[in-house]
Amino acid sequence: MPLIARLYRVHGRVQGVGFRAFVERHASKIGLAGWVRNADDGSVEVHAQGRTEQLNVLEGLLRTGPRWGEVRHVEVRESSPIAADGFTIER
């Protein structure tokens, strides 16, 4: 199956609540490659690539977030795959 990539932007109370670590942990368990980072506007950006089923699982987790977070909205766009080895937190 070919790899596909998606770019997510998660809005709400998603910075300072362990959101990036939550995403990195779950994306790695699912077997996705990519990155997660805080955006200047207070949202969190996620670039993930894998199979459709894996990305759908991640999207469900993004919509829930970690215990102390509060997700209000998730934007999803198709993206181009990148050269990535595993899933990382970007600063």
Question: Which residues are catalytic, by number?
Answer: 20, 38
DSSP-derived 3-state class of residue 39: coil
Q: Which residues pair with 79 in a beta bridge?
A: 5
Cα distance between residue 41 and residue 91, in whole Å: 15
Cα distance between residue 46 and residue 44, in whole Å: 7
